[in-house]
A = this chain, B = another copy of it.
């Protein structure tokens, strides 16, 4: 049984690691792993390049730290789905939670999108492991609801994909959404209404 060591960070360590991760999130989410440079991360975080590498062993180390921290936040909403709840309300709550993530953490969404888009070289095992297990469980729950006649019969896997696609689209393709809509729109407010309507019509028995 391995003791989890608590690194016990100093005040400065805590502050600078946070600065680096925040700057790195900017850079990685807009350029992808290969397109990002340590110099850019250093500038974005307001530290010198050697100092960045004083707190993280390598570019890869920064990236991996970001990805693992992201995963917890990202998958949390799906864990919140309650099998004993009212099916439609549970689904709509999940959709709402995912849309809120896109609005409040667009950089994280784009980081994840970049990673998957480029073949998920850093987290392919997680996709086919942890994520797949969690999805299978959720598919079971939704399938149960459908079997009980409490939701319209739809493919649960693709229902989940649709929620991911529709909510993350507003973060990942934000420049396109804003360019097409123009100034006088609030994409997320409109999206919330639209998605509520969509899933109610789609899933009502």
**What is A's interface to B at a CB cutoff of 8 Å?**
30-36, 110, 113-114, 116-120, 124, 127-128, 131-132, 135, 152, 154-155, 157-159, 161-162, 164-166, 168-170, 172-173, 175-177, 179-182, 185, 190-191, 193-194, 197-198, 201-202
Contact = CB atoms under 8 A, between A and B. Distances in A.
Given A154-B194, A201-B152, A201-B202, A179 B131 contact: yes
B118 A154 contact: no
B179 A132 contact: yes
Contacts of A116: 172-173, 175-176
Contacts of A175: 116, 119-120, 124, 127
A191 B182 CA distance: 31
